[in-house]
């Protein structure tokens, strides 16, 4: 049974990682997720921004839950087509510039019409010593897709505004680990699908609105319209939690890849965003209690520099009790992010057991938590 879950999560995550879906262009991912939900017998609806929503009815007396993961990914947008057929791009999302040169990319034009290219890296033989350790700003980079004129680029369907993503790929690493494009957040989309599969069979459960959200990597606010429509009492967001078990990350925390699911106790991002999430104490207690009862390790994360669309969802209506749960992940926002399938399976079990504990008596009253 457990092995079935891990196998399904591996297959689903892999399949979802291979679908291009830049923020604002989530259509192909949404179509696939909607088909998966339809296969589970769940009706779906899509709001005007593109959020995909399915509701699983539960105990009407219990607080309602919005369980969500974002289906978009970061990438690039065509900014200028040079006369010689090389293509300049703009960033969409927090793209790490030092990880861009020599990467393969995909111009996402339409199913069967996508075009591969590569982000050029200056020939090493012509690189001066002082250039060797310099990170090129994205504006100095260009994409070579093999065309030798602007007319040829346009004729292939690439124009200003065309979305570009890392060329989708998945590598199976040792053990149960996967590397590839957009583990963030397709791995969590796979977990949400597994919850949608199992939840209808649970005797005790609250009403759960499944949401696959848009625009997270772009402006963090795509999920807000879904939350405004659903007005949930509780919001649970699933995303990566930074693994800190590599030499460059050890001072940042204590999250181990393969060490089990994790929850964020504190997130914040300044520099204009000025938002973050401090989880509702009832939800921290719920998942601590659930993890102990299920003999699952629940890792803890608290740091600034990152946040999710949950930060905006929590501000809807009279306030939504919120928590970020997730899976440890290495090398965020690079073309090869790494996760461990065992962590995804642990996260699925934690969520199912946790949701089953949200009944009519579940107390979200802040005064019940005097700290
Ligand atoms: Zn994410």
The pLDDT tens digits for 112-139 are 999 999 999 999 999 999 999 999 999 9
Strand partners, 151: none
Task: Output DSSP code: residue 200.
Answer: G
Q: What is the pLDDT of residue 201?
A: 94
Cis peptide upstream of residue 193 (ω within 30 degrees of 0): no
Structure tokens, 6: 């891990």
CA distance 301 to 262: 7
Q: Which residues of 312-349 are buried (b: 16+ CB within 10 A; e: fewer)?
A: bbbebeeebbbbbbbbbbbbbbbbbbbbbbbbbbbbbb
How remote is the CA of residue 55 from the centroid of ligand 1, in Å? 22
Q: What is the pLDDT of residue 208?
A: 98
Q: What is the pLDDT of residue 2?
A: 56
Structure tokens, 225: 């319209």
How remote is the CA of residue 84 from the centroid of ligand 1, in Å? 36
How many Cα atoms sit within 13 Å of 78 on the Cβ side?
Answer: 27
Q: What is the pLDDT of residue 273?
A: 82
Q: Which residue ranges in the chain fall short of pLDDT 70?
A: 1-2
Structure tokens, 182: 């957009």
User: Residue 294: CB partners within 8 Å, gap ≥ 6?
Assistant: 349, 350, 353
Contact 78, 158 (CB under 8 A): yes
Contact 85, 339 (CB under 8 A): no
C-alpha distance across the termini of the chain, in Å: 41
Picking from 364, 327, 356, the residue whose alpha carbon sits closest to that of residue 232 is: 364
Q: What is the pLDDT of residue 306?
A: 85
The residues annotated with a catalytic role in the active site are 216
Q: What is the pLDDT of residue 94?
A: 92
How remote is the CA of residue 39 from the centroid of ligand 1, in Å? 26
Contact 109, 158 (CB under 8 A): yes
Angle in degrees, CA 193, 194, 197, rounded to 5: 90
Residue matched to tokens 């848009």: 214
Contact 79, 90 (CB under 8 A): yes
Q: What is the pLDDT of residue 349?
A: 98
Q: What is the pLDDT of residue 370?
A: 80
Please give the backbone phi and psi of residue 259, each rounded to the nearest 5 degrees, phi first.
-90, 5
How remote is the CA of residue 184 from the centroid of ligand 1, in Å? 5
Q: What is the pLDDT of residue 271?
A: 80
How remote is the CA of residue 148 from the centroid of ligand 1, in Å? 36
How remote is the CA of residue 361 from the centroid of ligand 1, in Å? 32
Contact 243, 249 (CB under 8 A): yes
Picking from 355, 347, 236, the residue whose alpha carbon sits closest to that of residue 299 is: 347
């Amino acid at each position: 049974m457990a092995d079935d879950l891990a196998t399904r999560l591996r297959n689903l995550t892999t399949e979802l990682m291979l679908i291009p879906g830049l923020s604002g262009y989530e259509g192909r991912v949404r179509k696939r997720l909607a088909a998966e939900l339809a296969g589970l017998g769940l009706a779906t609806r899509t709001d005007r921004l593109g959020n995909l929503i399915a509701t699983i009815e539960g105990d009407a007396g219990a607080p309602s839950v919005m369980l969500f993961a974002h289906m978009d990914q970061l990438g690039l947008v065509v900014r200028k087509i040079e006369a010689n057929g090389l293509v300049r791009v703009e960033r969409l999302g927090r793209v790490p510039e030092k990880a861009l040169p020599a990467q393969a990319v995909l111009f996402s034009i339409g199913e069967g019409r996508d075009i591969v290219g590569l982000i050029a890296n200056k020939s090493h033989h012509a690189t001066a010593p002082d250039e060797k350790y310099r990170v090129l700003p994205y504006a100095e980079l260009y994409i070579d897709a093999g065309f030798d004129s602007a007319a040829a680029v346009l004729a292939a369907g690439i124009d200003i505004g065309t979305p570009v993503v890392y060329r989708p790929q998945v590598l199976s690493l040792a053990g149960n680990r996967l590397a590839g494009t957009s583990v963030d957040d397709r791995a969590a989309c796979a977990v949400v699908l597994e919850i949608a599969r199992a939840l209808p069979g649970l005797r005790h459960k609250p009403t759960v609105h499944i949401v696959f959200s848009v625009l997270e990597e772009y402006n963090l606010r795509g999920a807000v319209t879904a939350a405004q429509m659903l007005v949930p009492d509780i919001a649970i967001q699933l995303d990566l939690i930074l693994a800190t078990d590599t030499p460059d990350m050890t001072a940042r925390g204590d999250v181990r890849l393969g060490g089990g699911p994790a929850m964020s106790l504190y997130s914040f991002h300044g520099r204009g965003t000025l938002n973050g999430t401090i989880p509702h104490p009832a939800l921290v207690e719920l998942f601590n209690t659930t993890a102990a009862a299920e003999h699952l390790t629940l890792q803890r994360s608290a740091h600034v520099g990152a946040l999710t669309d949950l930060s905006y969802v929590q501000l809807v209506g009279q306030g939504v009790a919120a928590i970020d749960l997730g899976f440890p992940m290495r090398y965020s926002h690079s073309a090869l992010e790494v996760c461990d399938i065992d962590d995804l399976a642990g996260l699925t079990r934690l969520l199912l057991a946790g949701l089953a504990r949200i009944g009519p008596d579940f107390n979200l009253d802040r005064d019940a938590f005097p700290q």
